[in-house]
Structure 1
Amino acid sequence: MSQVRVQPTADAIRAGARAIRRRNVEIVNAAGLGHIGGDLSAADILATLYLGVLNVDPDQPDDPERDRYIQSKGHASGVLYTTLAAAGFIPDSLLDTYMADGSPLNGHPDRNKVPGVETNTGPLGHGLPVAVGTAIAAKLDASPRRTYVLCGDGELQEGSNWEAIMAAGHRGLDNLVAIIDRNGLQQGARTEATNALDPLDAKFAAFGWAVRTVDGHDIDELLATFRAAPFERGRPSCVIAHTRKGRGVSFIEDRVEWHHKVPSAEQTAQAIEELSE
């Protein structure tokens, strides 16, 4: 790729993540729609990837040698769009059209409408299988490009994911990094009450993956972990990122009802104040 990137500091990424969260709260409030809890839990992960890790260029979004980022938890489109704006793929002003009639910024991301979106996601269990395919393609091309995919933890109850996990381990896709947004909540309940996932690290390891568990809100730890991939040659990498749904907003954090809920004008003002501290 032609662009030479200057690696930002962890402090700069932290500031970027706070700005992404604030903008996210604004657009969800304005639209009256969104998945704000899951957006906020993933903001540090996306900020770290786009501002400090991914080999991507907003001026060449279709460069064949770019890294691929796939957001399997496509319902958290708000944080993807705000991150793409922060990274220069789309103008910030476009965020004001989020969910509006005719806007390219749909509730689920569409690669035909938004630069930087690699594949359409929304139906859970689709993103990881697609990511396995892009990683296989890079191997066939003898390309150094990598694929990163973000999955929700509740999403791992979909069987298609485990077929993909098994295939990736079998093929030794060490150019693939799966990140699990492990906030412990899904729509309507806690994951462990719905269909227990733990021990999640042991499950991935049993399928041939190299696994690391991190604090999904610690930018320094996220940076070091992503930059260390592949964790083992010949094995795909899994990052289990422990997060809090609604991170950074006191009345949203770890509250199951905020999977779909939209903040009022007063709540939005309070959230932005808390996210500015």
Structure 2
Amino acid sequence: MTHAAGASHVGSALSVVDILSVLYSGILNIEPDNAASIARDSVILSKGHSAAALYAVLAIQDFFPVSLLETYYQDGGVLGGHVTHEGKRGVELSTGSLGHGLPYGVGIALSHKLAERNSRTVIVISDGECNEGTTWESALLAQQFQLNRLCVIIDRNRIQSLAPTEVTMALEPFAEKWKAFNWEVRTINGHSHQELTAALALGEKPLCIIAETKKGNGVSFMENSVLWHYRPPNDQELLAALAEIESSDS
């Protein structure tokens, strides 16, 4: 998708795709047939630049035709380079400008609680997004309203647009910050489907899952590299990447 479109953010998509795959694999109450139900669970990809990963997972899960992926980032297409909501089942919110997903998710979770629905709200954010003040304001609000059916999954790939996160704005001690906001915190391997599934178990508080990931995961020359935040693969790099991924799956 990113190669055909000459688009960026393939590294960011590869760091989060395992997380999205687990969320849409049946663990939550969201599927094509109930995607418009008010009682559905919600998944919000706040790091909207990873749209390619979300679109691919939704297409595989039959939220829309796989053929629609060919329109990604194309003039006249319906799949924008950042997550776009309009006309697509399974996409909760148009995102891209960082720091909006968690505030929006807190509102959804609060509405479910007030209506006495058991729906869950899961927001996937980037670690770089934790530079945004709105992230921490909404984290404070979530614990104030005791939104224990709200979950934040942080894609902790430790690289943002131009530099490592700890160079741009240091986040450590990261888990302790969330604990100080009275959240339950679980740190896991973000590429382990087993660990992700186990970590999603409900607790008594709002839940923060710090998913340790690799930017560009699964492709050796993309892993942990700032370069692959913006760069699309050329023809040779695409073939090499596909060969590595296919080899790891065999």
TM bin, normalised by shorter chain, reads over 0.9
CA distance in 1 between partners of 2:238 and 2:59 (Å) = 20
Q: TM-score with structure 2 length normalisation?
A: 0.97
The equivalent position to 2:129 in structure 1, one of 150, 155, 159, is 155
Per-residue deviation, residues 36-77 of structure 1 (Å, max 9, x unmatched): 011000011010110142211212320111100000001111
The yes-or-no answer on 1:237 pairing with 2:211 is no
Written as runs of structure 1 = structure 2, the 5 A alignment for 1:114-263 is: 114-226=88-200, 228=201, 230-231=202-203, 233=204, 235-263=205-233
The equivalent position to 2:238 in structure 1, one of 268, 271, 275, is 268
CA distance in 2 between partners of 1:72 and 1:262 (Å) = 21
More displaced 10-residue stretch of structure 1: 183-192 or 60-69: 60-69
CA distance in 2 between partners of 1:144 and 1:87 (Å) = 23
CA distance in 2 between partners of 1:113 and 1:33 (Å) = 22
Per-residue deviation, residues 98-127 of structure 1 (Å, max 9, x unmatched): 111121100122222321111111100000
* Matched residue, 2:28: 54
CA distance in 2 between partners of 1:273 and 1:93 (Å) = 23
- Amino acid in the other structure paired with 1:166: L
Written as runs of structure 1 = structure 2, the 5 A alignment for 1:33-72 is: 33-72=7-46
CA distance in 1 between partners of 2:16 and 2:41 (Å) = 19
Tell me how many residue pairs correspond in the alignment.
247
CA distance in 2 between partners of 1:81 and 1:118 (Å) = 12
Aligned CA-pair RMSD: 0.9
- Answer whether contact 2:2 2:10 (CA < 8 A) is retained: yes
- Answer whether contact 2:10 2:50 (CA < 8 A) is retained: yes
Gaps of 5+ in 2: none
- Answer whether contact 2:47 2:95 (CA < 8 A) is retained: yes
Per-residue deviation, residues 152-186 of structure 1 (Å, max 9, x unmatched): 00010000101000000111100100000000000
CA distance in 1 between partners of 2:174 and 2:88 (Å) = 33
- Answer whether contact 2:64 2:89 (CA < 8 A) is retained: yes
Residue 214 of structure 1: SS of its match in structure 2? Answer: strand
Measured after TM superposition, the shift of residue 31 of structure 1 is 0.5
CA distance in 2 between partners of 1:52 and 1:40 (Å) = 21
Q: TM-score with structure 1 length normalisation?
A: 0.88
- Answer whether contact 1:41 1:181 (CA < 8 A) is retained: yes
CA distance in 1 between partners of 2:70 and 2:243 (Å) = 20
Runs of 4+ off more than 2 Å: none
CA distance in 2 between partners of 1:255 and 1:31 (Å) = 21
- Answer whether contact 1:52 1:223 (CA < 8 A) is retained: no
CA distance in 2 between partners of 1:44 and 1:57 (Å) = 18
Gaps of 5+ in 1: 1-26
* Matched residue, 1:10: none
CA distance in 2 between partners of 1:265 and 1:84 (Å) = 26
